[in-house]
Amino acid sequence: MLTNKEIKKINEIKSHYPDEKAALLPLLWIIQEKYGWISEEAMRYAGDLLNIPYEQVLGVATFYTMFNKKPTGKFHLQVCTNVSCMLRGGYELFKYIEDKLKSENSESLFTIEEVECLGSCATAPMMQVNNKEFYENLTKEKVDEILEYFRKSTKKEN
C-alpha cells in the first residue's frame, strides 16, 4: 500500500514520539494524499503498521472530518455551514452547489461535503477545495465561476 520511501517517512515520524501510536494521524494523512480516501483496508494496514487495533484506527479516522471515508471526485468541495458561514448563507450555498452538481451530473468530478468551521469565519461563507485551497466571501455567482474554472482545467489536462 505504501512505498519503501513512504514507510521510511513514517518511521522517521515515529521516531519523534515516545509511543509509535502517535504517528497514526500523519500515517492516515499520507495514505489519503496517495489514494484520496481511507478505505477499511487502509485502516487495517495503518493499524498493523503501528500496532493499533483496527477499531481504534476506525475511531480516529471517523472522528476527523478531514479524512475521507469514501472515494471523492477529482475536486473535493468542503462547504462550511458552521455559525459564521451559516449566518452568511452557508446552508443555502451548500444546497445550491449540491443541486447544481446533481442536475449537471457532475458528481464524479466533484464531491461536496458539509463541514464544520475551517477557521475562516471572517470571510464567511467559505469552502475548501482538496484540503488546501480556500474560497471565501462566496456567492452563487462566485461558485459558478469556481466550478467552471475547475471544469476547464480538467478539459485542458485531457
Interface residues toward ligand FES, by CB under 6 A: 80, 82-85, 117-121, 124, 126
* C-beta of 13 vs 117, nearer to ligand FES: 117
* C-beta of 60 vs 79, nearer to ligand FES: 79
| Smallest distance, ligand FES to C-beta of residue 77, A | 14
* C-beta of 66 vs 109, nearer to ligand FES: 66
Closest alpha carbon to 37 in 77, 78, 76? 76
| Smallest distance, ligand FES to C-beta of residue 146, A | 17
**CA atoms of 81 and 125, how far apart (whole Å):** 8
Give the SS3 label for residue 126. coil
Name the phi and psi angles at 39, rounded to 5. -85, 170
User: Which residue, chain included where needed, has cell 509509535?
Assistant: 20
| Smallest distance, ligand FES to C-beta of residue 117, A | 3
**CA atoms of 117 and 10, how far apart (whole Å):** 29
* DSSP H stretches of helix in 1-139: 4-14, 24-35, 40-50, 54-63, 83-87, 90-103
* C-beta of 53 vs 119, nearer to ligand FES: 119
| Smallest distance, ligand FES to C-beta of residue 124, A | 5
| Smallest distance, ligand FES to C-beta of residue 120, A | 4
* C-beta of 36 vs 89, nearer to ligand FES: 89
